[in-house]
Structure 1
Amino acid sequence: MDMDKRPPADGGDGCLVGVIRIPVKIVAVLVVLPVRVVWELLVAAGRAAYRHVLGPLYVHVLQPLLRALGWLLTTLLKLVFVWPWVGLWRYVLVPVGQGLAWVCRGLYEQVLAPAGRILGTYVLYPLGAALAWIGRGGMRYLLAPLAKGVTWIGWVLGMSLFVWPWVALWRYVLAPVGRGIAWLAAAVYRYVLTPVGHGLVWLAGAVFRYLLRPVGLGLVWLVVAAYRYLLRPVGLGVAWLAAGLYRYVLTPVGQVLVWAWGVAGRIVAALWRGLKWISWVLVGWPASRVYRHVLTPVGHAVREVWRTGRAAVREARATVRRALFGTPPVEPARSRARTLGSTTAADAAPADEISLPRRQG
């Protein structure tokens, strides 16, 4: 982002913008650029650490360890809180409950049910019939007249205690007193409260007309004058000052900071590409050349030497055995499991072995 190539707004930025822009650029280059470089380096280091250290550590160490701990914790919880109760329920409570149910069912069927039938048939039913006959006779010839007399006495007492006194109190005391209080209240309302209310209304109107209305109009005029001649000019001045500060100070400073941030990003990217190129030139390319032109041929040569030496040792062992025992050498299972020309395991299709007698024949 090249800010110097942008067309000037309103006929140029002015000397004030130029004076502010140069120091801000210097500060941005001296402060923002190092911070951006350090930030990019920290981000690259963090990504490399996560990719090559933290990720493999979590995948190959922490995750299996956490899985093992979870399995162990689950097993311990089952061993402590699940399996004992399951065993108690399955092998103790269920058989005991079944046995108790069988005993209770047999006790009810063989003892309680026959005893209840005998007791109800020969004791309770005749006793209930006798009590019902006695109750019917007593209700008809004794309790009915007694209940009527008690009812009449209760009615007389209830009327004497709870009805007639209250009726007399209302008729001869409360009603006359209520009528007198109503007449007194009407007189007080007509000859006292009504004139006092009219006087209070007249007084409130006079206070509003000759005191509150002038004072309110004066306050409104004072507020309008304060807004017109004080608050509005001050607000316009503050708004003009804020607009000038935003236009001639904050906007150039923000543009310079954005430009410095972009320049810092480009510089950091260029430095990173240079470091990658230098690392490849100084380390990667020489290492690849050494691996391709030195280590690979040396490894191939060492492998051929090793194969040749192993074949020579096998031939010498076969010759010694033939000279000592006069029988063809029998190779062990490990030698038969692999061929001389490859390291393929025994389950793969082995190639034809080259033995010393076959060569001599």
Structure 2
Amino acid sequence: MEFEKRPDGRPQEPPRRSDPEGCVAAVVRVPVRIVALVLVVPVRMAWDVLVVAGRFLRDTVFRPAGRALAWLGRVLFLWPLAGIWRYAVVPAARGVALLGHVLLVVPAVWLYRRVLTPAGRGLYAALAWLGRYLLVVPAAWLYAWLLTPVGHALAWCGRGLAWCLGMIVTGVGAVLYWTARVLVVLPALALWRWVLTPVGRGLAVIGREVLDALGHAWRIAGHVSRAFGRFLGTLWRWTVAEPARRAYRSVLTPVGHAVRDTVLRPLADAGRVAGRVTRQALAAARLTVRQTRADVRRALFGEPAKPRPVDRREPSVAEARTLGSSTTALTKD
């Protein structure tokens, strides 16, 4: 097959792979993928089962238990601690702070302002004069006439000693450098270049192929596990759920309706009638008992005294003003 032509007339080369395959990759790829598929399919199916079980436990057990524990923790620990902090610790701390301010800070400020400050101002001049002639002037003379010459001499000796040590260290370092380069660096470089690099490349190819095989096997195992799960779901639906649904719809529902219409509903109507009769009987019995008690009380104590009529200021019904008459209770003869 001819290569496509570029605009400048030269043939276009096919794109090169960033990781050219070699004989090692071709030999390792197929067996590794087969072995990885055989080993990974059970692991992936077990993983999917564990994921489903974990989600079920999370939704039905762990999440309600966690909410209950969180509420219990708030009730038993958080709210009591908050109450102790708000109503005991904070007021106690404020009281201690106020007491410390009154007992320590206020006396200390008063002592500093009224006692120490005036005393310090009266002693400052004498202390300054004594410090100048007893400390500052002798120290300046000692620095100018003794410490400075001695320091210059020590610095010159130190520079000479440092130059000598530097020359010695430089020579020893050069000898050690060339010795280490010849005995260690060059052999290690040759070992790295001619042994470890080819072996590492081969191991990298093998490791990449193994990882790719594991990835393909994991994806294929996922498809297999999903298909197996769908098969189990379909089997469960057609062997258990669908017969149960049909039995419920075609057998249990008509039987239940028949039992409801022939047994339960007449029993309910009879129960309501019996309850109504029972209530009526109880009401009649209560009325009989009430009348009997009234007759016994009347036989023992006689008729109760009638209340005496009370002279009301308002006119009676007969003497009240009517809508069709102009007379009232006050003007009527």
The TM-score with structure 2 as length reference comes to 0.45
Taking structure 1 as the reference length, the TM-score comes to 0.42
Higher radius of gyration, 1 or 2:
1
Higher helix share: 1
